[in-house]
Structure 1
Amino acid sequence: MRLHSSSASSWLPAILAIIALLTAAGCVKEPEAQHLLTVPSPVAKSETESRLLFGILYPMAHPFYEMITQLTEQSAEPLGIDLFVKAPDEVNLEQQIRMMEQMIKQRVDGIAVSPVDGDALAPVIDKAIDAGIPVICFETDSPGSKRLSYIGADHFKGGELVGEVLDQLLKGRGMVLVESGFPTMTAQKQRLEGMLQYIESHTDIQVLDIRYNGGSEDQALADMEIMIDGHPHFDAFVSLDLWSASSSILVWKAKGLNRDVVAFGMQSDIKEAIHNGQITSVVSQNEQQWGEEIIAGLLAAAHQKPIMERIDTGTRVMTRSTVDSFPDIARTPSQTSR
């Protein structure tokens, strides 16, 4: 009996020590688990926790932006990121402001916006930033706001490249018709200024007429009819906006014209038009990169990591020999956007 009692007494300290170690281990792990739950990282999230939701806000609804949405979805989906995509039916600053306010109220995890007017949208961008929602601009900028980054091209340099393309096509001389969307929209204004400065400084090219369609393809068609009738001996047509590029394809098909067309900005229907000869060259803003850069920037910002203030996607000339390098994007409705 005494031997049994002595054996039990000798084991008791060991048992108590094991219990103490297990208790201590539990106390160490508990704060670590709490810390992981507070880190906004997809790795730390369980399947039952909410996915990141990024807002994408365009200046207006247009097939060009449907293409950008699909490219953005291709980058977002593998990372388990949802998109909340909004756009006014037509270019409308007030609607864009209301849509951004809606995203702020919904507490999205980040916003990427192409501002109708960077100065006017700055207070709303600042409101989102102050609410802890990262904001980046793409295509057009709001440099006076607290936005974290701008993704896109230098539009003045893009306009200069349009002038250079005209110089090469027309061998330094000829007559040109120009169509744009809005005279006050910063990006389109800068493109026009860049083009005019180049051709005035380096060529003898004459600009016969410049018209603005106000974001209407019907008006763009009417403008082209008037300009072509008024200047039948023109040598080239330049489109500096989304609407007149698509309209020019219809006009060139209907009239069987063989004059050069230079457009700014790659779109789904332009790729086919280049192959068919309705459009000669397109100055692309490397739009195929926007989606990846948007998701990478917002994801880093959502994780409170530093991002570059300026991501210049540059511009390049697309012709029949190079246009197939641009991805094929079908005009289909967004599947993961909500």
Structure 2
Amino acid sequence: MNFRFKAVQTLTLLLGITLILCGCMEARTTMETWNQNQEVLSLPSKNDPELTFGIIYPMVNDTYEMITENAEASASDYNIKLIVQAPDEANLEQQIRIMEMMIKQKVDGIAIIPVDSEALIDVIDKAVTSGISVICFESDSPSSKRNAFIGADNYKTGKVIAQTVDNLLGGKGMVLVQSGMPQMLGLTQRLKGFQDYLHEYTEIDVLEVRHNHASEEKAIQQLEEMISAHPHFSALINLDFVSSSSSVLVWKAKGLKRYNVALGLTPYVNQSLENGQITRIISQNEQNWGEAIINTLRSLSQDKTMPEFINTEIIEMHN
């Protein structure tokens, strides 16, 4: 699957986004914002060996294109070739085939968001056993032999989202919840953290939970159905990237003024925050994942010891 890549792929773009965010919104940090560990990494060198890294996404999405641009900008400092692949829609069999292809190509490292953490164990282990470094990001496969996980604690992310909703609603109200693939570990963890917090600390009722299976068309349809069935809901909670962007389209079409809490930061979602379609953004610093992928795989290729969990932290953003 080929991605469309913008012509400008430099760190200047990323710095520009950061400046826009700083000027247009106030960010409340629930954990310290993630910073790259410079002690683990060496400076760029013209004598770096040629490396090939693969990045495998669950499907095509604006958030993943942003991560790819960040990865390309970071890889441009080194002698690194990137192979970026994703199914048109989330598909376990296609992810397995892409992994098998990259193993045959003998790439130096693979970064993958597993659509099913258990079902991908065998092919992840096959890659590691063959000498290829494998890292998971966004969602983990902890029972596999993968070398590291990049992202935030997804259970804590769910609790942070619930705390945000608690603050917005004053501990009472009725909410709708959208999520993506029910078999993806990270999304399951977010939902569990969200539900546990609400149950323990609030009187907020979850009216309905829907899973869009990473389909924007299905996400829009399900959201419209939930709104029709529960017209007096207080807030919508989005636990994945597809739900977040799809909710903006529904909010615009219906002119809704209810609270809408999004997961994931992209320029599009940020603009929707400024325009009022989004009330809060909970981010795991996705805009930095591409850099973290390149630096982690590069360090592993140099046989450096890396932490098993590279925590990119959680932040809450609002106007």
Q: TM-score, normalised by structure 1?
A: 0.78
Matched residue SS, 1:308: coil
Q: Tell me the equivalent position of 2:62.
A: 63
| TM-fit CA distance, 1:99 | 0.4
Matches within 5 A, 1:70-149: 70-149=69-148
How far apart in 1 are the matches of 2:83 and 2:292?
Answer: 17
How far apart in 2 are the matches of 1:59 and 1:42?
Answer: 33
Q: Deviations over 1:288-314 (max 9, x none)?
A: 221121111111111122111111112
How far apart in 2 are the matches of 1:217 and 1:112?
Answer: 24
Matches within 5 A, 1:244-263: 244-263=243-262
Q: Tell me the equivalent position of 1:7.
A: none
Identity of aligned residues (%): 52
Stretches of 4+ aligned residues off by more than 3 angstroms: 41-45
Q: 2:152 matched to 1:159?
A: no
How far apart in 2 are the matches of 1:213 and 1:57?
Answer: 20
| TM-fit CA distance, 1:182 | 2.4
How far apart in 2 are the matches of 1:278 and 1:226?
Answer: 19
Matched residue SS, 1:136: strand
Q: Tell me the equivalent position of 1:203.
A: 202
Stretches of structure 2 that go unaligned for 5 or more consecutive residues are 1-43
Aligned residues: 276
| TM-fit CA distance, 1:150 | 0.8
| TM-fit CA distance, 1:42 | 5.7
How far apart in 2 are the matches of 1:125 and 1:214?
Answer: 22
Q: Tell me the equivalent position of 1:286.
A: 285
How far apart in 2 are the matches of 1:219 and 1:128?
Answer: 34
Q: 2:279 matched to 1:302?
A: no
Matches within 5 A, 1:181-330: 181-320=180-319
| Structure (1 or 2) with the larger CA radius of gyration | 1
- Of 209-218 and 275-284, deviating more is 209-218
How far apart in 1 are the matches of 2:116 and 2:181?
Answer: 11
Cα RMSD (Å): 1.5
Contact 2:118 2:141 in 1 (8 A): yes
Contact 2:115 2:183 in 1 (8 A): no
Contact 2:265 2:287 in 1 (8 A): no
How far apart in 2 are the matches of 1:308 and 1:276?
Answer: 39
How far apart in 1 are the matches of 2:223 and 2:288?
Answer: 32
| TM-fit CA distance, 1:183 | 2.4
How far apart in 2 are the matches of 1:256 and 1:203?
Answer: 28
Q: Residue 150 of structure 1 aligns to which amino acid in structure 2?
A: F
Contact 1:64 1:268 in 2 (8 A): no
Instruction: Report which structure shows greater RCO (CA 8 Å, sep ≥6).
Output: 2
- Of 190-199 and 225-234, deviating more is 225-234
Q: Residue 197 of structure 1 aligns to which amino acid in structure 2?
A: D
- Of 157-166 and 144-153, deviating more is 144-153
| TM-fit CA distance, 1:44 | 4.4
Q: Residue 136 of structure 2 aligns to which amino acid in structure 1?
A: C
| TM-fit CA distance, 1:162 | 0.7
Stretches of structure 1 that go unaligned for 5 or more consecutive residues are 1-40, 321-338
